[in-house]
C-alpha cells in the first residue's frame, strides 16, 4: 500500500479526516478487490484510525463533562455517540 495514508501519521489527523479515511478503507475492503498484503496493511491502518477516533471522542466527551460540571445549573448526562 502506498500513498498519502502511509505518509500521514494517524495522531496528526483530525477526527473528521481520520473518520473519512477509515470509511474509505472499509469501502475498499468490502469490495474485496484488494490483494492480501494490501488488505492487511489497510486493516492495520483502519485499526489505528479507529483507535484514534475513539480517543478523540473520549477526549471531547471529557471536555464537555468538565464544561457542564463548571456550569452552575447544568449536569453531565451520558452521551450516546454510537
pLDDT value, residue 1: 46
Among candidates 44, 65, 72, 56, which has minimal Cα distance to 15? Answer: 56
Tell me: pLDDT of 17 over 90.
Answer: yes
pLDDT tens profile 2-11: 444 444 699 9
Contact 53, 26 (CB under 8 A): no
CA distance 60 to 82: 14
Q: Quickly state the pLDDT bin for 13 (edges 50, 70, 90).
A: very high
Contact 2, 41 (CB under 8 A): no
pLDDT value, residue 3: 43
pLDDT tens profile 22-80: 999 999 999 999 999 999 999 999 999 999 999 999 999 998 888 887 775 555 566 66
pTM to 2 decimal places:
0.72
Amino acid at each position: 500500500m502506498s500513498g498519502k495514508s502511509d505518509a500521514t501519521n494517524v495522531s496528526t489527523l483530525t477526527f473528521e479526516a481520520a473518520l473519512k479515511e477509515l470509511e474509505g478503507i472499509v469501502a475498499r475492503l468490502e469490495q474485496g478487490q484488494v490483494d492480501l498484503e494490501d488488505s492487511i496493511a489497510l486493516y492495520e491502518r483502519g485499526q489505528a484510525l479507529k483507535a484514534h477516533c475513539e480517543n478523540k471522542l473520549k477526549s471531547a466527551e471529557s471536555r464537555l463533562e468538565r464544561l457542564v460540571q463548571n456550569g452552575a445549573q447544568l449536569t453531565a448526562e451520558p452521551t450516546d455517540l454510537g
